[in-house]
Structure 1
Amino acid sequence: MITRFGLLTRKKGLSPEAFNAHWAQSHGPMAARFPGLRAYMQHAVTDKQQFGISHARGADWDLDGFSELHFDDRQAMLDAVSGEIFAPTLVDEGAFLEDVRLVACEKHKVVPMEFDGGPFIKRMTLLKRLPGVSPEQFRHEWLETHANFVRQWPNVLGYHQNIVVDRYHGSRTESAPYDAVPVDGIVEFWFRDKAAAAELYATDIVTETQEHAKVFLDTITPYFVETRTIV
């Protein structure tokens, strides 16, 4: 399975309300027709505060939404944006997007989210590795050491790691250079509410985890989001 995230910035002059209405009502049904699409979610940004994170925020990012599309593999993902069905979707982007950068990811469910019917909030976070830290080092520190820290956190409803394996900007089929899409991973974190999240971030284990982040992360850029399931 491959997960493609779109990192979306709304068109200048467009209100958040108009952006979200167009994304959900016009663009969503178009993208839902992609061949080979297994799932499609839209994550609308509701809060851009750093909220408990001691790291610097990434200067490259000021997002309004994340699209999330699932395909069986990378070839299926590329095929979906190579046919006739994709063409009107690309044209439609000009109506509500100023910029879209894309990352193809491997999803790792460190703490699987189980939707128990109770209230929850979701936060998505962009990670950029430190200069001098190789992609291989980043992968080891995040998928192994850091994940083991998070497994010890109390009252976490879910924690998924999406490690970037390819990047796109402009072209949807030709890889972009790292500097064009400077992100190495995307975190998905679920909490019961913001009060529970704030209480969690005051614990010693979270402090210890954030100390470990200094070993391999340059910037951490979180967003609280509201999710719409399209497919």
Structure 2
Amino acid sequence: MIKLVTFQKRVPSLTRSEFEQRWLTVHGPMAAVFPGLRGYMLGFSLDEGEPAADGIAQLWFDSRKDAQASYASDIGRRGSADASAWLARREHLLASEVWLTRNAPISETPFKLVFSVKRRDGMAREDFISWLKEQVTAAVAAEMGASQSRLSLDEAGLLLNSKVEGALDLVEGEGVHDALIELWFTSRRSAEEGRERFSAWIAATLAPQLSKQEDALLQEHVVVMPPAPAYGLDMRTFA
């Protein structure tokens, strides 16, 4: 299974509250019926002021080709047109997932930290992905107080084409992000404490191999429940 991650920043005409309500009640239902969609989560920023991303959407498909075919459909193009009309930032990542720890249903770990990273210039994608897997382990996540943890990795270097006109095929190229480090927490306080510790750990451990990094504190909302292995637990545990 492949996950499409989209970093979103609203247009200035929308307040953050208006953006969140629109994505939950208008755009979310549009995307929920994309062909081949297997799961859909919305995470809205809990950071004060103007965060770099107001939200991060995650949509699961069986493969990268299935994700692209979905966005190339009439329904997908209408969704892309709607998103583009209301977003000043819309950056995609097509990623595979590697769970480090998974111990609880979403309802018990609603606060999520996302750290996006981009490798330094001159470093091969395969080398970076392999190195990142060695560095970010279940033990490291546990040290930060995370209840669950996952790596989302762009192993293929293929970008989603989410335009509206013309033929829409996967594009080979460099995206803004190479990988996400995702950590879940049971409370906002524990998430904020984990953020401080993990930011310090990144500075000491990962920073020399990075050209860019970004973090966000989110509260997640289920639009379409992702199946296993996206969350790895029996769906009945999410009731």
Residue 187 (1) aligns with residue 181 (2): yes
User: Residues 146 and 213 of structure 1 are in contact (CA less than 8 Å); yes or no, is this contact kept in structure 2?
Assistant: no
Runs of 4+ aligned structure 1 residues displaced above 6 Å come to none
Instruction: State the match for 1:173 in structure 2.
Output: 169
How far does residue 209 in structure 1 lie from its aligned partner after superposition? 6.3
User: Residues 159 and 172 of structure 2 are in contact (CA less than 8 Å); yes or no, is this contact kept in structure 1?
Assistant: yes
SS at match of 1:7: strand
Aligned positions of 1:111-150 closer than 5 A: 111-115=101-105, 118=108, 120-147=110-137, 150=140
Instruction: State the match for 1:28 in structure 2.
Output: 28
Instruction: State the match for 2:16 in structure 1.
Output: 16
User: Residues 22 and 96 of structure 1 are in contact (CA less than 8 Å); yes or no, is this contact kept in structure 2?
Assistant: no
The share of aligned pairs that are identical, in percent, is 21
What is the CA–CA distance in structure 1 between the aligned matches of 2:124 and 2:135, rounded to whole Å?
A: 16
What is the CA–CA distance in structure 2 between the aligned matches of 1:151 and 1:9, rounded to whole Å?
A: 28
How far does residue 10 in structure 1 lie from its aligned partner after superposition? 0.6
How far does residue 36 in structure 1 lie from its aligned partner after superposition? 1.1
How far does residue 16 in structure 1 lie from its aligned partner after superposition? 0.4
Give the TM-score normalised by the residue count of structure 1: 0.81
**1:65 pairs with one of 45, 55, 64:** 55
How far does residue 218 in structure 1 lie from its aligned partner after superposition? 3.0
How far does residue 121 in structure 1 lie from its aligned partner after superposition? 1.6
Give the unaligned 5+ runs of structure 2: 225-239
SS at match of 2:121: coil
SS at match of 2:171: coil
Give the unaligned 5+ runs of structure 1: 50-60
User: Residues 112 and 183 of structure 2 are in contact (CA less than 8 Å); yes or no, is this contact kept in structure 1?
Assistant: yes
What is the CA–CA distance in structure 2 between the aligned matches of 1:4 and 1:230, rounded to whole Å?
A: 15
What is the CA–CA distance in structure 2 between the aligned matches of 1:24 and 1:191, rounded to whole Å?
A: 23
SS at match of 1:230: strand
Instruction: State the match for 1:58 in structure 2.
Output: none
For residues 172-202 of structure 1, the C-alpha deviation after alignment (integer angstroms, 9 at most, x for no partner) is 6342642xx3211112111233443455577
C-alpha spacing 1:199/1:63, structure 2 compared with 1 (3 Å)? closer
Q: Which has the higher helix share?
A: 2
Residue 91 (1) aligns with residue 85 (2): no
C-alpha spacing 1:73/1:174, structure 2 compared with 1 (3 Å)? closer
For residues 56-87 of structure 1, the C-alpha deviation after alignment (integer angstroms, 9 at most, x for no partner) is xxxxx921111100011112111211222223
C-alpha spacing 1:120/1:126, structure 2 compared with 1 (3 Å)? same
How far does residue 223 in structure 1 lie from its aligned partner after superposition? 0.5
What is the CA–CA distance in structure 2 between the aligned matches of 1:72 and 1:198, rounded to whole Å?
A: 33
Residue 103 (1) aligns with residue 87 (2): no
Instruction: State the match for 1:212 in structure 2.
Output: 205
With 142-151 and 168-177 compared, the bigger mean Cα shift is at: 168-177
How far does residue 155 in structure 1 lie from its aligned partner after superposition? 3.4
Instruction: State the match for 1:223 in structure 2.
Output: 216
With 64-73 and 93-102 compared, the bigger mean Cα shift is at: 93-102
How far does residue 120 in structure 1 lie from its aligned partner after superposition? 4.4
C-alpha spacing 1:82/1:147, structure 2 compared with 1 (3 Å)? same
What is the CA–CA distance in structure 1 between the aligned matches of 2:48 and 2:117, rounded to whole Å?
A: 15
RMSD: 2.8
- For 1:147, the aligned partner's letter is T
